[in-house]
Amino acid sequence: MTITNIILIVVVIGIATYVVFHNIQKKKNAEVEVQVDVDDKTYTIEKMIEFVKRRLDEITKINLYDIGLSEEELKRRKNKKYELKKALKGCTYGDVNDKKYVKELIYDLLEKEYGVTESNISKAIPFDIPSLLTAQDKFDVLIYSYKKEFGYEALTELIKKYNLATLKYVEGETKPSYVITSNEIEEIYEKENIILSFSDKLSVVVQRIYQHYKGYSSIDEVRDMNIDGVSGGVSGLPESFLSQVAQADGDYLEQVTEHKVPRACDSIWIFFQGKSIRLEFLSFGTEAELKRVCQNIYKYNNPGQLSDTNGYKINEMKDGSRVVVVRPSFSETWAFFVRKFDVKRSTLEQWFKGEPGCDESIELLKYLVKGARIISITGEQGCGKTTMLMGMIENIYETMNIRVQETAFELHLRKIYPTRNILTFRETETISGQEGLDVQKKTDGSVNIIGEVATDPVASWMIQAAQVASKFTLFTHHAKTFPNLVTALRNSMLRAGVFKNEKTAEEQVVQVLNFDIHLTKDFKGKRYVERITECIPVEEKNEYTFDHRKEKTLEGKFDKFFDNATRYFEKITDRQLYTYRNILEYVDGEYIITNPISETNLKDMRMNMDETDMEKFDKFVERHWGNTNRQTVPVSSTVEAPQPKRRGRKPKADTQEV
């Protein structure tokens, strides 16, 4: 071999070594070196979203074994890659910690790789020219600013400070409504006069990028706030309606195109302190964006696919919020409903908010729970039934095991009481509620709680649980009056096939039910306990006589016989099964304790209390009803129960017979 050949071989080996080394270094630095072609649109939100998607995709899909890392560095990068994948998945379920992690990574990518600076960040959102900012831009800045000071109470503080949750007239509407308009947001922005640093501006931009990439679009930050709920797609024109309008009315279609008429994708509502408020200044922008949010917001714990065949899904999010999603053709448009439950505030003291008579009312509710009474909590949607139920559970004795049956996890009692013996079951596609109740009977439970009695099978579970499965039961229902509650439960028992006779079914209901707490939400959104009603079953008495034997004439015997026959037919056709009376009422802004609790319930309540609570309860009874309750006349008697002093006010009818 000549010297020339040797030199050529060395050169080739050197070049090959250099190429291999260069490729390894190029891959090694792929995560930190990105060339950005700068043009006029480089720093727009759309371009930055594309960049973030591409970079995060590269980071999560890169093959770390091809880079030639040391064992320690390989392990570190694998952990980092796994953590990012987990966060990208978790943030779509409503996990605020995963959301924070992803946003911090996006912040670093934009600042260190994409080259976002003080001079070009205004191309994304024109922070320096307020007249060019949209109402949504200004709202994002306001929420960011308030969130730094108030955390997740930011939206609540903003609404309260500027009194936004009030009825107002909107241009083009003839009736007042709860709405927050673009003009109000713009006025607030001017008053606040917020000065943002570069870091603040970039954080606002990062949030805007995140909510269109992995978040829930315009409601992303709103959903995280401590409010009662948020919904979308529930007002405005559906997309399917536009084609019909185009054929019939071209002028109207032009108004829709110019966004003068709200579309379904412009529909964003919040549920705040009992009021449904429309956020007129926020929009999803397009029907496709609303659809994307609906398809992602319910996915926690893989509840199954939302399809045209299965047009709705009920699930919970990672933070415990309940989410309901519907889609065409089941509904006229894509829509979602997120209902939040603030478990930290679920106390009876917070519910009554210091109104006159609230201390005695709270004490009464505590004794009803400690006395192991079967209690229903009734009222319309959004009146606070679940919150009231959470507050009442605090007064159940620690020695009692709690078992909960729900359609979707809502109560989350173990978050409030982590040291207590609590287990919650729910229906699944393969396990019915009846099967769940059968399992509960074998889990040493003392108290059975049913989140919502909304269907016939659930009503039958409630009656079963109250009769044999537990010491006592708490449940919620949507009945408007006490007779409506009894009738609804009776009809549910009949439809479920548990009973075939109306009287028998109703008799079972009134024997089970002890008290009803009825909640009301007035026109202004104020929520209060309208009444607490006691159900008193009427004992059937044998009123038949043998007087016909004493009669000497046939006519006299017939008269006595027909007397007995009349009593028989009265009992068969229209027998009185129960009476009910209010023991607490809300009158003229004050809670007033009215009629005494029946002797039967008083006796049973004392039996279920410890000695300390029993002594306090006796003093409570003595204070409000004296000794009259210990000598309560029989229910079947026509003598009226003693009436308390009313302080000049006249409550509603106290006692009814059914």
Position 417 scores a pLDDT of 83
Prediction pTM value: 0.71
Contact 575, 503 (CB under 8 A): yes
| Spacing of C-alpha 656 from chain mean position | 35
- With a cut of 50, say whether residue 408 has pLDDT above it: yes
- Per-residue confidence at 652, pLDDT binned at 50, 70, 90? low
Per-residue pLDDT, 578 = 84
Give me the pLDDT at residue 355, please: 80
CA–CA distance, 604 with 586 (Å, rounded to integer): 26
Residue from 572, 564, 541 nearest 636 by CA: 541
Residue 108's pLDDT band (cuts 50, 70, 90): very high
Confidence of residue 263 (pLDDT cuts 50, 70, 90): confident
Q: Which amino acid is at 513?
A: L
Q: Mean pLDDT for the chain?
A: 81
Take residue 531 and report the two structure tokens written for it: 């009444």
HSE, CB side, 13 Å, CA atoms: give it for residue 587.
17
Query: Higher confidence at residue 651 or residue 191?
Result: 191
CA distance 152 to 345: 14
User: Residue 337 and residue 575: Cα distance in Å, rounded?
Assistant: 45
> For residue range 501-559, what is the model confidence (pLDDT) as tens digits?
788 888 888 888 899 999 998 877 788 899 999 998 887 666 666 776 677 677 777 77
574-583 residue pLDDT tens:
667 788 999 9
Q: What is the pLDDT of residue 248?
A: 52
pLDDT tens-digit map of 583-622: 999 988 889 999 999 999 999 999 999 999 999 999 999 9
| Percentage of the chain modeled with pLDDT above 90 | 31
3-state secondary structure of 269: strand
The beta strands (E) that lie in 561-612 are given as 578-587, 590-593
8 A C-beta contact, residue 266 and residue 236:
yes
pLDDT category at 29 given cuts 50, 70, 90 is very low
pLDDT of residue 638: 32
Q: Please, is 628 exposed, middle or buried when counting C-beta atoms within 10 Å of its C-beta (0-12, 13-18, 19+)?
A: middle
E runs forming strands in 415-571: 422-426, 447-450, 472-477, 515-521, 527-537
